Amino acid sequence: MAEAQPIVPPLVITPEREGSRPIVQVLHDWIVTVDHKRLGIMYFCYGILALVIGGIEASIMRAQLAVANNHLVSPETFNQMFTMHGTTMIFFAAMPIVFGIANYLTPLMIGARDMAFPRLNAWGFWMTALGGIILYFSFVGGFGLYGAGSAPDVGWFAYAPLTSPAFSVGHSTDYWTIGLLISGFGSIATGLNIMTTVLCMRGPGMKLGRMPMLVWLNSVMAFLVLVAIGPLTAAQLMLLIDRYLGGHFFDTQAGGSAVIWMHFFWIFGHPEVYILVLPAFGILSEVIPVFSRKPIFGYNIMVAATIAIGFISLSVWAHHMFTVGMTSYANAFFVASTAAIAVPTGIKIFNWIGTMWGGKITFTTPMLFSVAAVAQMLIAGLTGIMLASAPFDWQLGNSYFVIAHFHYVILGVIVFGVFAASYYWYPKVTGRMMSETLGKCHFWLFLIGFHVTFDFMHVPGLLGMPRRIYTYEASRGWEGWNLIVSIGVIFQALGVLFWVFNVLKSYFKGKIAGNDPWDAWTLEWSTTSPPPDYNYAELPVVRSRRPLWDLKHPEDPDWKYE
Amino acid sequence: MYPRSANCESNSSMPCEGRARRSSRQVARLALLFLACGSSAAAATFGPSPVPSLFSPDSTPAHDIYHLSLFVLAICLAIFIVVFSLIVYAVVKFRRRDQDDGHEPPQIYGSNQVELAWTVIPILIVVVLFLAAARVIHAIEDATFPPDAIEVTATGHQFWWEFQYPAYGFVTANELHAPIDKPMHITLLSADTDHSFWVPQLAGKTDLIPNRRNEMWIEPHALGHYVGQCAQYCGIQHAKMLLNVMVDSQADFQKWVQDQEAPAVTSEQVAAGRKVFEANACMNCHTIAGTPLANGRFGPDLTHLMSRTTIAAGAAPNTEENLTLWIKGPDAIKPGCLMPAMQLDDQDVKSLVAYLMSLH
Amino acid sequence: MAAASVTVPQAEMPLSPAMRGKVGMWCLIVAESSIFCIFVVAYLYYAGKSVSGPTPAQVLHVPIFASICLFSSSLTIVLSEKAIHRGNIKQFGIFWFLTLALGVIFLVETGIEWHRLIYNEGLTISTNLFGTTYYSLVGLHAFHVTVGAIGLTIILLFTLFGAVKMEHAGRIGVFAMYWHFVDAIWVVVLSVVYFIAR
């Protein structure tokens, strides 16, 4: 192999630790950084912090709903909790986390030294951070001088006219609007950056058709960010015009329409689900092959399915609005488009099974989380099929069934995927392995908690329990189910504690990982752990989808088959 | 798109039942599995229940949805069993064994035939699901009504329901009365924010949206008291915006209508209470038909308050004790509701309650 | 194995890191377009739905002069791009200044139009749905022109101080894309506001 230069640089693999530099200096380094890896870590940590806060808000709601006629929190508090929980989890937990993963891994995976626009990258992060701070400032500043402590209470989708000055006095809704507007600018910047990085910054030989699945899914995610955040931004601007300049966009007294807000919001809102879930799909598509010891089954159709999901997801938004009285033809159209998106999603599930089929599966913690996520995606997809059937949705819409369904997606797939990613790439980020024992405790606790909560949450929905109610009558037959649902939260919280403990402990005590602890195939495993600031001393030349497989198996390289 | 059903257009005297049977049969035919179950369940009634389950429908549109939902559930269950078994099989069969030889397994990159199969089969399933859904959408949304269908206008308020019966010219609140086996066409409006009318045993939900006119219909087939509640977040007391629907026999319904049409009973014994009512802001928000002063529209019509089983949109049973509590401080029953505490002294409250108790 | 003798062709990369400015600007244009799209949809949806006057037909005059100015600024910015590609900084500066001047004339014309609408016709953003949607859509566009004008001014100042050189042609090209986008949006806004939903 004359021209085969080593892809793995022969470097020592002891992770470097920050020395005993003054804390101010370390902090300064992090604050002014434009390095995609540091920004990725900051995004991720910011998202985890928001995840914990949002989780506490969810726990408060579950405590309130555990029994009928409970008086633990006031209706005001409960309404603020579900608004803040939804907003926090979507915009300040899930999005920063997937952006963080995309930021850290995209340049490494395509053989680049940084993102296309490193400074814009930092700007995007700080905008997102600022948005969250503004949102949470509402807890002390929502009513200005009239009384501290009023978070927004209009729901995370903030239907008009509840957000109009007449129904939402004070400034709590403004904090919500401005917070999301600003974090939206940050999101657009990051989407733009990921897209440009993928298009322009690929290393030698890294054709589009050779990119790792995660990069493909992240680039479709970035496309959706560019297309879908705009409508939210526009709608928020209109809401601000209504609230501050006396506009009438959503003013039903002056001929405005409450329904058009729903359209604008969901034109953003549904692609948003895919913005969050596509990176999770990408994680599964990286982890499952490595631990099955086989390449991803049907790379081309996986990419095609991803692109199909991206486009179809832009045409399904009104399935959130089956109950607003659209015409039968409009309803039928959105049934068709929504059901159609099940096809590419199904293809993905089948291809993951196809990847495992005939492999030699090792059940490390990331693989456990990934397999669970595949099974949960199946269930989430099937309840999605039920909800896509408009007449069924007339019953199920806005009930606890819907909450169970989308938490299956968001927790069961996205958060499981994120946990898988955390175990899988932790060695790359820190240079040390996470503890498998603690990881398995985390997995089983979280799995049990997840299923106790969200499997049983479907039932009160089927029994007619609407969402967003702070209390309910004992006679409705929802009581026992809600108690079970609330009990599951304890297991989930314990699981997350195990994870946090594992992350912290492994940082200091974990086994030294080396460059490539999983015997994986994508480029990021060819550099040191953690990677140097410039990622690659020499940009690696890529000849196939699995450059490290080629290197490890020179007798049977992948590029012979492509 | 399929053509409008001729059955709906021409046979308008019995639109709903005919359509229900027909659609349920066609849905069931698609399922094959569910053929027997579908046609027998069409005739069954479950009766009202305090648990508003989707699976005990007692009204034509709810029945249609119920059959569709069984069909969809069956398909989803079948898919789940097949795919979940595949996952479990793959995970168990292809796990790395203890006596592994350390070699990599055969590297398979994909298979066009297999991928084509698992693209085409889901597409076929999706087409079937779409057709089944489209049929029920058409049956429910494009229904026509016989001329003697009962017309009701429901207006959502923060946080209670107003029901107008335009044909009879009276207004009531929070408890809807409907005759059995007769279509009732409900026009949905909102006075403030979005609401949603949801009584699961009678029909799917439809939103009440300001500056928009929505409609829905029910055709109940069993007597009794059905429960539901507002299903679109509408503000602080969304949770206690409950719905009660009383399905009466034809005779009982006619009697109820006659009672409601009559003006309020005025009795000299409760004149003191009436004076309190009319001297305070009560009359600005509440109507008591037959009295010249009390004609407010902001709160529920109280003309026949005692004909209702609950107060505060179902938040509490309609008893003397609760009425007293409610007037003294509505927040005790429904914190954050829009009715203010009137700061009346005990004597005034007592006479006011006595007056309200006389409004049969 | 024959692998050793196989020469791997370097994959042709149509988009190089040098192109990232243009690609990034395209991404920004996609995102901006979706924002404008929603405002245009709102304008069209609410056309004729105002519960009180004035109506567009009563008060709107087609801004012919302003539109000509804005459209010709696209031409001048193309000429200045050509100039900098040739390395003719002086010519670049002249055409750049012309572009800025035309943009500013457009903004001033818009300001005069708004003044007339507010003080003579009594149409403000809170008058009716027409006012709300009109000022929002036209204002959103004018805001973008303003941002462009600020950018033009900064680059003009750099040019005057001699900091702009031939090697900056690529970056100037990226900025010109933004300006063309703002012009293109005006085609949409102009036809929607002054012709389609009149």
Q: Which residue of C has its CA nearest to A559?
A: C8
pTM here?
Answer: 0.91
Average confidence (pLDDT) over C14-23: 86
Q: Is residue A16 part of a domain?
A: no
pLDDT at res. A403: 96
Contact C31 A235 (CB under 8 A): no
Average confidence (pLDDT) over A200-209: 91
pLDDT range class, residue C16, cuts 50, 70, 90: confident
- CA nearest A389: which of B76, B345, C19, B32? B76
Q: Is residue B2 predicted with pLDDT exceeding 90?
A: no
Q: Is residue A5 part of a domain?
A: no
pLDDT range class, residue A198, cuts 50, 70, 90: very high
pLDDT range class, residue A539, cuts 50, 70, 90: confident
Could you report how far apart the first and last alpha carbons of chain A are, in Å? 19
pLDDT at res. B47: 87
> Residues with Cβ < 8 Å from A370, sequence gap 6 or more?
A283, A284, A287, A288, A291, A416, A417, A420
> What is the distance between the alpha carbons of residues C45 and C1, in angstroms, rounded to a whole number?
67
> What is the distance between the alpha carbons of residues A470 and B237, in angstroms, rounded to a whole number?
8
Q: Which residue has tokens 């389950």?
A: B53
Cis peptide before B71 (omega within 30 of 0): no
Q: Which residue of A has its CA nearest to C28?
A: A192
Q: Which residue has tokens 């750049």?
A: C96
Which residues in chain B are contacts of A398 at CB distance < 8 A?
196, 198, 205, 231-232
Q: Is residue A246 part of a domain?
A: yes
Contact B111 A298 (CB under 8 A): yes
Q: Which residue has tokens 């009794």?
A: B224
Q: What is the mean pLDDT of chain A?
A: 91
At position B220, the amino acid (one-letter code) is P
Q: What own/partner pairs with CB < 8 Å and gap ≥ 24 does A325-334 have?
A: A325/B188, A325/B206, A325/B207, A325/B209, A325/B212, A325/B214, A325/B215, A327/B141, A328/B137, A328/B138, A328/B141, A328/B142, A329/B1, A331/A390, A331/B137, A331/B141, A332/A390, A332/B1, A332/B130, A332/B133, A332/B134, A332/B137, A332/B138, A334/A390
State the pairing for strand pair B184-190/B150-157. Answer: parallel
pLDDT range class, residue A169, cuts 50, 70, 90: confident
| Interface contact C136, partner A, CB < 8 A | yes
Task: Tell whether the torsion through CA atoms of B335, B339, B340 and B345 is positive or negative.
Answer: negative
> In chain B, what percentage of residues exceed pLDDT 70?
88
Query: What value, to the nearest 5°, has the Cα angle with vertex A309 and ends A416 and A220?
Result: 80
Q: Is residue C92 predicted with pLDDT exceeding 90?
A: yes
Question: B26 to chain A nearest CA, in Å?
Answer: 16
Q: Which residue of C has its CA nearest to A314?
A: C34
Chains in touch with A (3+ beta-carbon pairs under 8 Å) read B, C
DSSP-derived secondary structure for A243-280: HHH---TT-GGGT--HHHHHHHHHHHHHHHHHHHHHHH
Cis peptide before B147 (omega within 30 of 0): no
> What is the distance between the alpha carbons of residues B200 and B228, in angstroms, rounded to a whole number?
7
Q: Which CATH number covers residue A119?
A: 1.20.210.10
pLDDT at res. A18: 54
Q: Is residue B29 predicted with pLDDT exceeding 50?
A: no
Task: Tell whether the torsion through CA atoms of A29, A31, A32 and A33 is positive or negative.
Answer: positive
> Residues with Cβ < 8 Å from C87, sequence gap 6 or more?
C166
Q: Is residue A148 predicted with pLDDT exceeding 60?
A: no
Tell which of B58, B87, B309 to mutate to test the A interface (max A CBs under 10 Å): B87
pLDDT at res. A558: 84
Question: C55 to chain A nearest CA, in Å?
Answer: 14
State the pairing for strand pair B206-208/B195-197. Answer: antiparallel
pLDDT at res. C119: 95
Helix B112-141, helix A342-356: angle, nearest 10: 150
Nearest to C28 among A192, A235, A247 (CB): A192
Q: Is residue B13 predicted with pLDDT exceeding 50?
A: no
H-helix segments, A389-473 = 390-396, 400-409, 416-430, 436-462
Q: Is residue A135 part of a domain?
A: yes
Domains of chain B: 34-94+112-249 (2.60.40.420), 268-357 (2.60.40.420)
Which residues in chain C are contacts of A246 at CB distance < 8 A?
125-126
H-helix segments, A20-171 = 23-31, 36-65, 75-87, 95-110, 118-141
Total of domains in chain A: 1
Chains in touch with B (3+ beta-carbon pairs under 8 Å) read A
Q: What own/partner pairs with CB < 8 Å and gap ≥ 24 does A233-236 have?
A: A233/A181, A233/A184, A233/A185, A233/A188, A233/C35, A234/A264, A234/C34, A234/C35, A234/C36, A234/C37, A234/C38, A234/C39, A234/C42, A235/A261, A235/A264, A235/A265, A235/A268, A235/C38, A236/A177, A236/A178, A236/A180, A236/A181, A236/A184
| Interface contact C8, partner A, CB < 8 A | yes
What pLDDT, in 10s, does the model give residues A471-529? 999 989 999 999 999 999 999 999 999 999 999 999 999 999 989 999 999 999 999 98
| Interface contact C20, partner A, CB < 8 A | yes
Could you report how far apart the first and last alpha carbons of chain C are, in Å? 74
Contact B133 A324 (CB under 8 A): no
Q: Do the Cβ atoms of A127 and A189 come closer than 8 Å?
A: yes
At position A31, the amino acid (one-letter code) is I
pLDDT at res. C13: 63
Beta strands in B263-359 (DSSP E): 310-311, 316-317
Tell which of A199, A211, A263, A560 to mutate to test the C interface (max C CBs under 10 Å): A199
Least confident of A142-146, A321-325, B60-64, B116-120: A142-146
What pLDDT, in 10s, does the model give residues A22-71? 889 889 999 999 999 999 999 999 999 999 999 999 999 999 999 999 99
| Interface contact C17, partner A, CB < 8 A | yes
> In chain C, what percentage of residues exceed pLDDT 70?
93
Contact A292 B94 (CB under 8 A): yes
> What is the distance between the alpha carbons of residues B207 and B215, in angstroms, rounded to a whole number?
9
Least confident of A216-220, A360-364, B270-274: B270-274
Q: What is the mean pLDDT of chain C?
A: 91
> In chain A, what percentage of residues exceed pLDDT 90?
83
What pLDDT, in 10s, does the model give residues C19-70? 899 999 999 999 999 999 999 999 999 998 888 889 998 999 999 999 999 9
Q: Do the Cβ atoms of A266 and A318 come closer than 8 Å?
A: yes
- CA nearest A376: which of A298, A447, A301? A447
Average confidence (pLDDT) over A82-101: 96
> What count of other Cβ atoms lies within 10 Å of the Cβ of residue C77?
28
Burial of A403: CB neighbours in 10 Å, binned 0-12, 13-18, 19+: buried
| Two tokens, residue C6 | 């196989």
pLDDT range class, residue B23, cuts 50, 70, 90: very low
pLDDT at res. A10: 45
Which residues in chain A are contacts of B83 at CB distance < 8 A?
349-350, 353, 378
Q: Do the Cβ atoms of B312 and B239 come closer than 8 Å?
A: no
The CA distances from residue A252 to A235, B154, B197, B337, C49, in Å, are 16, 18, 20, 22, 11
Q: Is residue A20 part of a domain?
A: no
What pLDDT, in 10s, does the model give residues A441-478? 999 999 999 999 999 999 999 999 999 999 999 989 99
> What is the distance between the alpha carbons of residues A345 and A407, in angstroms, rounded to a whole number?
17
At position A557, the amino acid (one-letter code) is P
Tell which of A173, A322, A355, A395 to mutate to test the B interface (max B CBs under 10 Å): A395
Chains A and B are touching, with contact defined as 3 or more CB–CB pairs separated by less than 8 Å:
yes
Q: Is residue A216 part of a domain?
A: yes
- Chain C, residues 96-135, CB within 8 A of chain A, namely 125-126, 128-129, 132-133
> Residues with Cβ < 8 Å from A323, sequence gap 6 or more?
A393, A394, A397, A398, B196, B204, B205, B206, B207, B231, B232
> What is the distance between the alpha carbons of residues B202 and B218, in angstroms, rounded to a whole number?
6
Radius of gyration of chain B (CA): 27
- Chain A, residues 254-293, CB within 8 A of chain C, namely 254-257, 260, 264, 267
pLDDT at res. A17: 57
Q: Is residue A131 predicted with pLDDT exceeding 80?
A: yes
H-helix segments, C61-196 = 64-86, 89-115, 129-160, 169-190
Cis peptide before A161 (omega within 30 of 0): yes
Q: Is residue A365 part of a domain?
A: yes
Structural domain harbouring A357:
32-560
Contact B73 A471 (CB under 8 A): no
> What count of other Cβ atoms lies within 10 Å of the Cβ of residue A28?
12
Contact B69 A328 (CB under 8 A): no
Q: Is residue A143 part of a domain?
A: yes
What pLDDT, in 10s, does the model give residues A329-377? 999 999 999 999 999 999 999 999 999 999 999 999 999 999 999 999 9
Chains in touch with C (3+ beta-carbon pairs under 8 Å) read A
Which residues in chain A are contacts of C16 at CB distance < 8 A?
200
The CA distances from residue A3 to A542, C5, C123, in Å, are 12, 9, 73
pLDDT range class, residue B12, cuts 50, 70, 90: very low
What pLDDT, in 10s, does the model give residues B282-295? 888 999 988 888 88
pLDDT at res. B280: 87
Average confidence (pLDDT) over A218-230: 96
Q: Bin A217: left if φ > 0, else alpha if -120 < ψ < 50, else beta.
A: alpha
Q: Which residue of A has its CA nearest to B190?
A: A252
What pLDDT, in 10s, does the model give residues B176-187? 999 999 999 999
| Interface contact B117, partner A, CB < 8 A | no
State the pairing for strand pair B242-248/B175-179. Answer: parallel
Residue B246's DSSP bridge partners are B177, B225
At position A79, the amino acid (one-letter code) is N
> Residues with Cβ < 8 Å from B292, sequence gap 6 or more?
none
pLDDT at res. C15: 79
> What is the distance between the alpha carbons of residues B341 and B343, in angstroms, rounded to a whole number?
6
State the pairing for strand pair B316-317/B310-311. Answer: antiparallel
What ipTM was predicted for this assembly? 0.91
